[in-house]
């Protein structure tokens, strides 16, 4: 529940609680808050049990954590044997290398030879390479279809 709170933040909360409630009332406030949290948990557990009993026996293994899409997909994909090819493909794909190749092509740097040979056919112009800029006195070509 409090996994995102660091030690310094916890100390700041304690100091703030002592300043707001005072050292005399602080134990009573802590007891009240802990009773409230216990009541909320009990209410939540009873609501879950009511929902499970209303759903019937076919949903006796239903877990509310399965409503989280990530958890649901993880459980569905764990038992699937057809995904071995997908895992092999995922292992062979190097996203960082692909992104570096695209960035090199956009910036006009020489790309790795494997990517150039596999992606561009011989004789086709590379549209990502920097083109010669027109002279300052010359206007760029006008394309009426593009406007």
Count Cβ neighbours within 10 Å for each residue of 43-78 and write b for 16 or more, e otherwise: eeeeeeeeebeeeeeeeeeeeeeeeeeeeeeeeeee
Residue 99 has pLDDT above 80, yes or no: yes
Mean pLDDT of 29-41: 95
At 118, the pLDDT band (50, 70, 90 cuts) reads very low
| Alpha-carbon distances, residue 19 vs 12, 27, 40, 130 (angstroms) | 11, 13, 27, 65
Residue found by looking up tokens 């026996």 in the block: 57
Residue 116 has pLDDT above 50, yes or no: no
Going from N- to C-terminal start, the domains of the chain cover 7-89
Which spans in the chain are helix H? 7-55, 69-78, 84-92, 95-107, 113-119
In this prediction, residue 124 carries a pLDDT of 53
At 92, the pLDDT band (50, 70, 90 cuts) reads confident
């Amino acid at each position: 529940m409090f996994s995102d709170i660091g030690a310094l933040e916890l100390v700041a909360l304690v100091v703030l609680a002592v300043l707001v409630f005072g050292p005399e009332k602080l134990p009573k406030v802590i007891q009240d808050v802990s009773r409230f949290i216990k009541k909320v948990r009990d209410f939540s557990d009873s609501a879950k049990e009511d929902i499970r009993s209303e759903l019937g026996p076919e949903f006796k293994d239903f877990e509310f954590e399965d409503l989280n899409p990530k958890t649901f997909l993880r459980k569905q994909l764990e038992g699937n044997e057809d995904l071995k090819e997908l895992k092999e493909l995922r292992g062979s794909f190097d996203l960082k290398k692909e992104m570096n190749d695209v960035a090199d092509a956009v910036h006009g740097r020489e790309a790795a030879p494997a990517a150039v040979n596999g992606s561009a056919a011989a004789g086709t112009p590379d549209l990502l390479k920097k083109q010669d800029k027109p002279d300052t006195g010359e206007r760029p070509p006008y394309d009426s279809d593009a406007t």
